[in-house]
Each structure stands twice: as C-alpha cells, then as structure tokens.
C-alpha cells in the first residue's frame, strides 16, 4: 500500500508547470473510439501551444499512421502531437527485422485477429493469411471483436493452434475495450484465452518496457522527472509508467468510469498514480 496520497486534479492543465514531456494514451483519454471526449481536442492543442513534447502511446494493434489518420478524422488538430507509438508499430518493425535477417520465413501462415478485416498490422510483411487455426504457423492478435463474437468463437479458432504450440503475439494487451455497445473483452483477454488452451503468448505494448523505451527515445530520452504518463488504465498506463520511472496521471473517463473503489483497485495491482483527474480537459 502506498503511503503517498494520490492528488486529484481539476484538469490536466495543472501538470503544465511540472512536466515537459507528456506520454498520452488515446482510447479512454482522448476519445472512445467513436467520438472525442468533451474538451479533449482543445486540451491536446493547449498542451502543444504550451510548448510541451507530446508522444501518443497506444495499445493499438494497428500501425501508427492509421491511428493518426483516425485522430484527424475525429477532429484533433494536425500538429497537436509530436510522435505516435503504437504496439502494432513496435510489432511490425520487429517482424520486419526478423524477415530481413531470415528469422521469419517467407509466406509464413498467419492467423490474424483484427477488427473489421483490417490488415494494416501485417502489410509489407512476408505473411500468408489463413483463417484456420489448424494450419496457422503464427497467431497475431491485433484486436478483439468482442462486440460481434462471444469468447467461444475464439476458443474454437485458437484451440488447434494452441494445441500445436504455435507461437502467438498479442499487440494489444488491453483486457477491456470500449465499443459502441459498451465495454467488451479486449485482445488481452484473447491472449489469456490462448494461454489457457496451452499456447504461449508474447505481449507487446503497455505496461511492458519496450514501448515506453521507444516513446522516450522519440522524445529525445528526457530526464524521467520531466515526464508524465497519462492514461485510463491502472494495469497498463499507471503500472507501465511506474516501471518506466515516470510520473503517472489516471484519467477517469474511460474504462474506470463509475468505478466505486479506486483505492481497492490500486491496492490489488500495487500500482498507485501520482494524480487522478475526471477527464482529459485542460481545466474544469
């Protein structure tokens, strides 16, 4: 249990005097996947006008460019962030390096789990797509369609591959995702399912160190005391930020909206943010 009290802020503007580099989550902080949160577009632009270095760090299985395109379509101002790092981008670059070195065989049969048929996670990589777990040579969980399918659909899909010990990579460790029909199981829960069926999973994204290392490198490797990580997940953003040695701010507009006992949640994960704020507004 932390002895340091968690400070509640009236908006993220209070952080401007304390930090120069902002590592910002997108889902649950800036938008819900369909619409920006009230005040979020203005808050992001205000941070940039204040001269801050802004790196968006997302557990999205898609590469950086599709994510940035979506933000622009949602109405966020061009140039209101400096860099975008997604777990999908980190994974793509890793697979690309494996292909160049010969560690990834051409036409490797890949069972890709994504949303709405999106293939951006593997474009330009030497994969041959398969929809069958029986002949898959690699499983890539980039997203969940838990708003369309039940968990049994994925169990049937994964079981043959997991039984054969086919390697699985999860590029979106989030266990809960926000959808138009409410919270549903995320790709992280699908990774847990694959493991429960006897397979092994490599998870790429928050809270794991490599994505924070990549984000901080793009920010110029600043002193950790000048950095704050802002997100809506204790398990991914707060724990990951603590592991990276930076301050953390928990936004309560996303998956934790209406959570009755935050202190109990912090205790259960042994992860305590430095700050909380009700939403990603510059000031309430």
* pLDDT of res. 183: 83
- Say yes or no: 94 and 195 in one domain: yes
CATH number at residue 251: 3.40.50.1000
Confirm whether 170 is domain-assigned: yes
Distances (CA, A) of 185 to 152, 208, 234, 260: 12, 20, 17, 20
- Say yes or no: 158 and 181 in one domain: yes
Confirm whether 49 is domain-assigned: yes
- Say yes or no: 190 and 215 in one domain: no
DSSP letter at 145 equals -
- 172, 203, 234 - which closes a domain: 203
State how far the Cα of 50 lies from the Cα of 142, in Å rounded to an integer.
Answer: 35
Give the pair of three-digit tokens for residue 236.
């991914």
Confirm whether 77 is domain-assigned: no
- Say yes or no: 241 and 150 in one domain: no
Question: 64 in the Ramachandran plot: left (φ > 0), alpha (ψ -120 to 50) or beta?
Answer: alpha
pLDDT at 245 over 90: yes
* pLDDT of res. 4: 73
The DSSP element (H or E) to which 156 belongs, if any, is helix 151-163
38 vs 116, more confident: 38
- Say yes or no: 212 and 241 in one domain: yes
Q: What is the pTM of this model?
A: 0.88
Confidence of residue 120 (pLDDT cuts 50, 70, 90): confident
State how far the Cα of 62 lies from the Cα of 121, in Å rounded to an integer.
Answer: 5
pLDDT at 277 over 70: yes
Confirm whether 82 is domain-assigned: no
- 182, 203, 224 - which closes a domain: 203
Confirm whether 216 is domain-assigned: yes
- Say yes or no: 171 and 218 in one domain: no
Beta strands at 176-177 and 184-185: parallel, antiparallel or unpaired:
antiparallel
Distances (CA, A) of 254 to 123, 156, 171, 227, 258: 30, 31, 20, 22, 9
- Cα–chain-centroid distance for residue 193? 19
State how far the Cα of 57 lies from the Cα of 107, in Å rounded to an integer.
Answer: 30
Confirm whether 76 is domain-assigned: no
Confidence of residue 116 (pLDDT cuts 50, 70, 90): confident
* pLDDT of res. 29: 95
Find the length of the chain. Answer: 284
Residue-wise pLDDT tens digits, 147-163: 999 999 999 999 999 99
The mean pLDDT value for 102-123 works out to: 92
- Say yes or no: 191 and 231 in one domain: no
pLDDT at 132 over 80: yes
SS3 state at 177: strand
pLDDT at 221 over 80: yes
- Say yes or no: 192 and 211 in one domain: no
- 171, 203, 235 - which closes a domain: 203
Confidence of residue 259 (pLDDT cuts 50, 70, 90): confident
Q: 49 lies in which domain range? A: 7-59+206-277
Beta strands at 108-113 and 184-185: parallel, antiparallel or unpaired:
unpaired
Q: How many domains does the chain have?
A: 2
- Say yes or no: 177 and 115 in one domain: yes
- Say yes or no: 173 and 221 in one domain: no
Confirm whether 31 is domain-assigned: yes
Give the pair of three-digit tokens for residue 221.
């490797």
State how far the Cα of 104 lies from the Cα of 125, in Å rounded to an integer.
Answer: 9
Residue-wise pLDDT tens digits, 12-26: 999 999 999 999 999
Confirm whether 249 is domain-assigned: yes
Phi, psi of 275 (to 5 degrees): -140, 155
Confidence of residue 96 (pLDDT cuts 50, 70, 90): very high
Helix, strand, coil shares of the chain as percentages rounded to 5?
35, 20, 45
* pLDDT of res. 260: 75
- Say yes or no: 235 and 261 in one domain: yes
- Say yes or no: 101 and 158 in one domain: yes
pLDDT at 33 over 70: yes
State how far the Cα of 243 lies from the Cα of 210, in Å rounded to an integer.
Answer: 11
């Amino acid at each position: 249990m932390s002895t340091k009290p968690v400070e509640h802020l009236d908006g993220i503007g209070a952080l401007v005097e304390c930090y120069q580099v902002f590592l910002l989550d997108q889902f649950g902080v800036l938008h819900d996947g369909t619409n920006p949160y009230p005040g979020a577009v203005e808050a992001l632009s205000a941070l940039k006008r204040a001269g801050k270095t802004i790196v968006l760090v997302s557990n999205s299985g898609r590469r950086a460019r599709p994510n940035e395109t979506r933000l622009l379509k949602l109405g966020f101002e061009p140039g209101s962030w400096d860099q975008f790092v997604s777990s999908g981008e980190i994974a793509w670059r890793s697979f690309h390096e494996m292909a160049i070195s010969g560690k990834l065989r051409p036409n490797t049969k890949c069972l890709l789990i994504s949303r709405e048929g999106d293939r951006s996670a593997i474009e330009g990589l030497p994969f041959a797509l398969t929809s069958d777990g029986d002949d898959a040579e690699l499983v890539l969980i980039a997203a969940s369609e838990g708003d369309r399918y039940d968990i049994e659909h994925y169990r049937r899909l994964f079981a043959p591959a997991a039984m054969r010990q086919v390697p699985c990579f999860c590029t979106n460790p989030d266990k809960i995702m926000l959808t138009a029909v409410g919270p549903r199981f995320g790709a992280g829960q699908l990774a847990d399912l694959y493991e429960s069926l006897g397979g092994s999973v490599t998870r790429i994204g928050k809270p794991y160190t490599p994505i924070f290392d990549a984000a901080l490198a793009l920010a110029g490797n600043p002193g950790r005391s000048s950095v704050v990580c802002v997100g809506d997940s204790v398990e991914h953003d707060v724990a990951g930020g603590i592991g990276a040695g930076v301050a953390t701010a928990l936004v309560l507009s996303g998956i934790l909206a209406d959570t009755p006992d935050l202190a109990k949640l912090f205790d259960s994960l042994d992860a305590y943010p430095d700050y909380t704020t009700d939403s990603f507004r510059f000031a309430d």
